Structure 1
């Protein structure tokens, strides 16, 4: 019986200790190590000191309740209910061990204090849970509002950044378009410069070609004047047969004068046609005559600069080709550019080797699918690493001032884009190079 009473007293002590620890936990959110140590020591406290412990815990809980006025409502409710439950339970226990139990009202308090205290604590815990959930919901709502606010700020920031980025893109696009227009203008000027440079290459050759028919015209004119004088003498003599023979010679001379005059006229027209901007209109053109003319003009143009230069010119034209539908100004520039490059290659090799015999050949051929124009030389050929770049704009192996690097690039565009053809190169180092123009048949 004594043991049971002792156990009951210990349980009472631990109930109050539980209230003490629970209140501390609610308020501070954690337990200190000395609280656990104190709970072990409390088992061995003297019986008469229990009432002092009850009183101390009551003061502590009241202190926490007062101090919790700045805490959440759920914490305050739980602390208030815990404090009230503790005070009622402790009061009943004190009355139980006192001598005042004869009073009926006090006996009621003693009997029902545990029940009332537990009920108050239970209701306080329910209220704590309810308010705690409401506080959590409020926190979640606040967090959601903060999240919405942050997302709105992010969205506004993204919109602002997008607007700035779009503005920068527009400015950059405008700058690029302006740069593109400037590049196009520069390219047009360079292309025109390349055309004029090729015309300059022809100038000496054209002068040479015109000089020949002019010499024939002058010679036949002088001979014709002499024949006219002879014819007048024969008329005075009355020898009509001799007059007729002389008149036939004069007629032949006039035909030759007319032929060489037309030849000079064709040379001038060709020069003017080459210097004019391309109309882009295709017309039937004698490819063989075009290639032969530019071969001779380019050759005499080079000889006008360097009298010591001589080369063997070989032509092999397929007469079955007839007239081909091309833009003559453009295709003439391509052929001239390829022939000029061929003469440049053999001339460079000739300057290093006096025993070298330059050969430049131009040939045409008609197949079922293509009409080909080939320009070949026996120069040094093109290195493989250079071959991959020769059709790139502004690429040149010539010294500064001797080439713009647009000749082959322009030629490639004229053949491929302007005539739906192909321009390819076959080369062997130290042996020579052949450029082949393929036009659709």
Structure 2
């Protein structure tokens, strides 16, 4: 067979020359192959560990270059180990070209492993590619040799070299798969796999070297002194370069692994924070220095009925008209902040342009040169409904508690109206008798009829009747007016404002409440009312204000009753006064009951706090009073109390320009 460097007949004028291998450089070549394989395996681990596609591709090409260059370096070092007694040099271009198949084959083999294509045929393909790449690199590299000798290949050994490379590459790849599936012995398997892969590279090279024979023309000077003496130096330089490559690979792997861990930790933290924000039960909004919404979580989207994508980037006043960055910044710069760090009621606007009551807590975040603000908000629609139901329930409770007293208040005038009517009906019988006798006298004018008339007049007791009937009628009219007053007061007290602020006559409202509560205080206290003249009408929720006054008035009556029972003293006194102070109406309710102990004065407005016995109080009265006056009317309610002397509540309702007019 005569093809390329395969020939079966050697011309007679050619004689074969023999070369030998330098043992030191030979072992260095094996080390170069193993180190290159080790670097490639480190790179493969980084590809497996990385989740970044771009980084995976970068590591694959780096690994291909490291492994391909290592294969070439092993080949070149192996060539330096081969000593032949003729002059020899290398073609730079062909030498450079020889490294390309090794890099390409390394890339394809590493990609198969990187994709975890561990099925039998994929591994066979990867091993074959690697073997062909190494073989191509070797035989192209051999063509770079320039010498005064003919190089001839043994076809059998050439085939054997490729098959051997394939088998050893197959073993190396399967060993690498074991590394991937046995993390407990990671480093040991990596070293074993690197040694096997390095052996595959070296075995193919030296088998292929055995396939080559060298012939020179008979009579050519053969001198071992012509063999290069710098081979060891060059080989050491090559291995040093390979060691540097391995070091760079290991350092790069460590740095990239730590960077990946940091990135994964950061990504996990970001994901956790995002999940936390998205799963908050309350809405969360973050605005920047331009009042633009940066963060808008799912709860906020539910409250305002917007898609997050539609609202992010919008102005905050689209959702909460009364909030702006400038307003929050000015408040943040105040010594006594009114909004920042406080829970404040605002009105929001939904995507359907419907108002929604909000409870908003705003915090300042100093990030960079300009602070930004985050808002935690809650839809209080349901809470307001429950509060309204609670207030209504308390009103019904109050009416229920007052019902017996009111019934007694009505029953008393009804009783004497009934008695007076019975009296009038009784005496009217005698009067009718007198009238009938008078008619007879007028018709007959006899002594007998006249005598009967006198008897009838005497029996009817007309002087007594004529004096008592007007009194009875006056009492009845007074009783009916009393009943009408109580009924009007009950009607006025129980009338709902419908959550609408209306102009209210505070004097009439308080007088109505005092009337309704009369049964609670009339036996234990005298109530006096002092109203300043020309009080302006006040915009308020009349029914809820009435409830506040009732709660405090009933508490005052109970406190006086307790004092009377404890001290066996006479009736107490409750004083109500209303006057205009600055730009508000001040309502003062003072009693001389037992007073409130100092240690619990800070708790009296807490929900369900009460010192009364079971069945006499629920602890909601003053809590509702605080909510109505402070939160609904933007007013104030304060208490001053001294134990054993009494308590004074002072309520202030703000006046608006409409009030003044």
Which TM-score band applies after superposition, normalised by the shorter structure? 0.5 to 0.7
* Partner residue, 1:3: none
- 2:506 is aligned with 1:287: yes
Matches within 5 A, 1:34-433: 59=23, 62=26, 65=29, 70-72=34-36, 73=70, 76=74, 80=78, 83=81, 116-118=228-230, 120-121=231-232, 123-124=234-235, 127-128=238-239, 168-169=279-280, 187-215=387-415, 217-218=417-418, 221=421, 226=427, 233=434, 236=438, 257-258=476-477, 260-282=479-501, 285-301=504-520, 310-321=524-535, 324=538, 326-355=540-569, 358-433=572-647
SS in 2 for 1:336: helix
Would the alpha carbon gap of residues 368 and 212 (structure 1) be closer, same or farther in structure 2, given more than 3 Å must change? Answer: farther
Q: Unmatched 5+ residue regions in structure 2?
A: 1-20, 37-69, 87-219, 284-297, 304-377, 443-461, 656-661
Q: Report how many residues are paired.
A: 353
* Partner residue, 1:11: none
- 2:436 is aligned with 1:436: no
Q: Cα deviation per residue 1:291-325 (whole Å; 9 max; x = unaligned)?
A: 3453354342367xxxxx53343433334437655
* Partner residue, 1:96: none
Mapped partners of 2:391, 2:474: distance in 1 = 42
Mapped partners of 2:499, 2:269: distance in 1 = 51
Mapped partners of 1:439, 1:157: distance in 2 = 53
Residues 28 and 235, structure 2, Cα contact 8 Å, conserved in 1: no
Mapped partners of 2:253, 2:466: distance in 1 = 122
Would the alpha carbon gap of residues 366 and 204 (structure 1) be closer, same or farther in structure 2, given more than 3 Å must change? Answer: farther
Residues 349 and 356, structure 1, Cα contact 8 Å, conserved in 2: no
Mapped partners of 2:467, 2:480: distance in 1 = 20
SS in 1 for 2:397: helix
The root-mean-square deviation of aligned C-alpha atoms, in Å, is: 5.1
Mapped partners of 1:130, 1:283: distance in 2 = 92
Q: Unmatched 5+ residue regions in structure 1?
A: 1-56, 89-103, 304-308
Q: CA deviation at 1:351?
A: 2.1
Residues 359 and 377, structure 1, Cα contact 8 Å, conserved in 2: yes
Q: CA deviation at 1:283?
A: 5.0
Mapped partners of 1:204, 1:287: distance in 2 = 27
Residues 524 and 560, structure 2, Cα contact 8 Å, conserved in 1: no
Q: CA deviation at 1:422?
A: 2.3
Q: Cα deviation per residue 1:379-413 (whole Å; 9 max; x = unaligned)?
A: 22223332212122222222333222111121222
Residues 22 and 82, structure 2, Cα contact 8 Å, conserved in 1: no
The more displaced of 320-329 and 130-139 is 130-139
Residues 35 and 243, structure 2, Cα contact 8 Å, conserved in 1: no
Would the alpha carbon gap of residues 249 and 346 (structure 1) be closer, same or farther in structure 2, given more than 3 Å must change? Answer: closer
Mapped partners of 1:131, 1:75: distance in 2 = 8
Q: CA deviation at 1:76?
A: 3.8
Would the alpha carbon gap of residues 84 and 385 (structure 1) be closer, same or farther in structure 2, given more than 3 Å must change? Answer: farther
* Partner residue, 2:199: none
More strand by share: 2
Q: CA deviation at 1:264?
A: 1.2
Mapped partners of 1:252, 1:281: distance in 2 = 46
Would the alpha carbon gap of residues 324 and 264 (structure 1) be closer, same or farther in structure 2, given more than 3 Å must change? Answer: farther
Would the alpha carbon gap of residues 365 and 67 (structure 1) be closer, same or farther in structure 2, given more than 3 Å must change? Answer: closer
Q: CA deviation at 1:358?
A: 2.6
Would the alpha carbon gap of residues 216 and 374 (structure 1) be closer, same or farther in structure 2, given more than 3 Å must change? Answer: farther
Between structure 1 and structure 2, the one with the greater Rg is: 1
Mapped partners of 2:31, 2:547: distance in 1 = 102
